[in-house]
Structure 1
Amino acid sequence: MTVRAIDARRAAVLGSPIAHSLSPVLHRAAYRELGLADWSYDRFEVDEESLTGFLDGLGPEWGGLSLTMPLKRAVIPLLDGVTETAASVEAVNTVVFAEDGRRTGDNTDIPGMVAALRERGIEQVDSAAILGAGATASSALAALARICTGEVVAYVRSAERAAEMRQWGERLGVEVRTADWADAAEALRAPLVIATTPAGTTDALAGAVPERPATLFDVLYDPWPTDLAARWSAYGGAVVGGLDLLVHQAVLQVEQMTGRAPAPLDVMRKAGEHALAAR
């Protein structure tokens, strides 16, 4: 049966650049599995300057938006409210539209990280290390606030970044110590290492992976595996990848935007793996 255009529901991912995003692949796979033939999911190149105009032009058919850089903080003043999770890191990656038009921002990266780790049996750690100090690092700290009982050491490149990470730690209730990036090889001996840096940044650390590594969470998914993740796996360590994070946070987005739960995690992961293999 053909669905009338007026009954169609829409969602999309926004960001700049956006052409690389796997979100359409994951969300569309979920819609197919859930039988949501009236839902569509697209991608739009939107920067901070054009965000307000884009949001103001949306009609009542819109159910939600996924946001990537550079919009995760820029969107906050344009919303009617944000969840406690999003407020804790001042970053929104999910916007859900209510029937009355209210816009609510959430952050599914944080529970997505926790869920990805739990899927690999990581329920709690007594210490951890973070490589990097950008927006993803603050989300990693928020995730560690839920599972880490002790100190988190953040390896950064500047005093300014170090101060920011300590401030985030205080805000999130995490004991944070900062160290210079030159000593980042020391991080690899932690029970849990979360790499939040851009592609290529950790390649030089691959040679420093210990003989019996614990768990690495590398947030990258393309290219994959990173040199660090490949060496980690070769030495028998557990590796959680960026696709794991992307899928788990997308599951939560699908559930919030469509009101259907549970979203099909395995189907979405397989769709993502297939799309990456085709690149």
Structure 2
Amino acid sequence: MTSADRAARVQPGTGLRCAVLGDPIAHSLSPVLHRAGYDALGLGFAYDAVQVPAGGLASFVGSLGEEWRGLSVTAPLKREALDFATLVTDRAELAGGANTLVRTEDGWSADNTDLPGAVAAIRERYDGPVASATILGAGATAASVGLALAELGAHTIRLLARDPSRARETAAALARHPGLEVDVVALDGAAMVGEVVVSTVPADAQSDQLLAAASQAAVVFEVVYDPWPTPLAAAAMERGQALVSGLDLLVHQAVLQFAMFTGHNGPLGAMRSAGLRALADR
């Protein structure tokens, strides 16, 4: 299927158009969140999910008409979005990937709303100090959340990776933040440090040993939102730890995208409520 064919399959709306791109993409809650925002504010935007495989972003975006205003970008396209854009923000460059493309007069601008979205999500649930933290996993999301933790004051971050040799790119992205020290160790059996433990690994990788090791953290940040709760999230709730969910992150980063795409502040409450209803129906 050509990029033009994929564009034609997106149902047109009554006004300007936006979408989330990725592969796979059917599971994405982004259409639910953004459409709820449009409904709340009475905007005539359309927002859809479009499957775009790795290597296909430039061709697809290049085929879009002028009615397309903004694109949310998820795996495996975040690096491609960074390379494709005419303009790249400092935070997207720092994170090594973009989750947002916005049409400008000169082309497409790439940004990363995961980073400020993670800052907002953490601060919504926890107002204490962040001097150090542990992140389970070492992919693109780990890089964005790690940089958010550095913005909140963390000077040391430990990456626990199932394959430490594959964590170099994320560790390098974090190390670009001035004054941030990063160490990478194997996921199995490693000690956790800091006030915040972030999990970017699947639920089936969350062993009893990992759950026990996370028990001393003030905050558990579980970026997975489906299935919910994960073993780590359930343990955090039982222990009374502050819990930041993947939906918290998704909503906060979507609110920022919404403003970039439409010029209106995203209605956080309406978008979160829509996400919660959608998850309950799954």
Q: Give the TM-score of the pair, scaled to structure 1.
A: 0.90
- Report the residue type matching 2:94 in the other structure: S
Task: Say whether residues 1:62 and 2:68 are aligned partners.
Answer: yes
Q: How far apart are the structure 1 equivalents of 2:207 and 2:39?
A: 38
Q: How much does 1:161 deviate?
A: 3.3
Task: Say whether residues 1:190 and 2:197 are aligned partners.
Answer: no
Kept after mapping to 2: 8 A contact 1:47/1:70:
yes
Task: Say whether residues 1:230 and 2:234 are aligned partners.
Answer: yes
Q: How much does 1:165 deviate?
A: 4.4
Q: How far apart are the structure 1 equivalents of 2:171 and 2:21?
A: 30
Show CA shifts across 1:139-192 (max 9, x none).
Answer: 1221122013432111123342354444233212311122221224x32x6311
Show the counterpart of 1:103.
108
- Report the residue type matching 2:26 in the other structure: A
Q: How much does 1:209 deviate?
A: 5.3
Selected match of 1:12 from 2, 19, 23: 19
- Structure 2 vs 1, CA of residues 104 and 238 (structure 1 numbering), >3 Å: closer, same or farther? same
- Report the residue type matching 2:125 in the other structure: R
Show the counterpart of 1:125.
130
Kept after mapping to 2: 8 A contact 1:13/1:24:
yes
Selected match of 1:268 from 263, 266, 271: 271
Show CA shifts across 1:236-278 (max 9, x none).
Answer: 11110000000000000000000112x1101100000000000
Q: How far apart are the structure 2 equivalents of 1:164 and 1:194?
A: 18
Show the counterpart of 2:212.
208
Kindly, what percent of the aligned residue pairs are identical?
A: 46
Show the counterpart of 2:3.
none
- Structure 2 vs 1, CA of residues 147 and 76 (structure 1 numbering), >3 Å: closer, same or farther? same
How many aligned residue pairs are there?
270
Most deviating of 263-272 and 174-183: 174-183
- Structure 2 vs 1, CA of residues 76 and 137 (structure 1 numbering), >3 Å: closer, same or farther? same
- Report the residue type matching 1:53 in the other structure: S
Q: How far apart are the structure 1 equivalents of 2:19 and 2:112?
A: 16
Q: How far apart are the structure 2 equivalents of 1:41 and 1:275?
A: 16
- Structure 2 vs 1, CA of residues 86 and 237 (structure 1 numbering), >3 Å: closer, same or farther? same
Kept after mapping to 1: 8 A contact 2:196/2:217:
no
Q: How far apart are the structure 1 equivalents of 2:147 and 2:73?
A: 18
Which stretches in structure 2 are left out of the alignment for 5+ residues?
Answer: 1-11
- Report the residue type matching 1:194 in the other structure: V
SS in structure 2 opposite 1:172? Answer: coil
Selected match of 2:224 from 198, 220, 224: 220
- Report the residue type matching 2:140 in the other structure: A
Q: How far apart are the structure 2 equivalents of 1:128 and 1:177?
A: 11
Show the counterpart of 1:21.
28
Q: How much does 1:17 deviate?
A: 0.3
- Structure 2 vs 1, CA of residues 201 and 6 (structure 1 numbering), >3 Å: closer, same or farther? closer
Q: How much does 1:121 deviate?
A: 2.8
Most deviating of 192-201 and 89-98: 192-201
Q: How much does 1:213 deviate?
A: 4.5
- Structure 2 vs 1, CA of residues 102 and 123 (structure 1 numbering), >3 Å: closer, same or farther? farther
Selected match of 1:153 from 152, 158, 176: 158
SS in structure 2 opposite 1:221? Answer: coil
Kept after mapping to 2: 8 A contact 1:254/1:260:
yes
Which stretches in structure 1 are left out of the alignment for 5+ residues?
Answer: none
Q: Give the TM-score of the pair, scaled to structure 2.
A: 0.89
Kept after mapping to 2: 8 A contact 1:195/1:219:
yes
- Report the residue type matching 1:266 in the other structure: G
Show the counterpart of 1:74.
80
1:170-189 aligned at under 5 Å gives the runs 170-173=175-178, 174-184=180-190, 186-187=191-192
Q: How far apart are the structure 1 equivalents of 2:121 and 2:258?
A: 16
Task: Say whether residues 1:83 and 2:89 are aligned partners.
Answer: yes
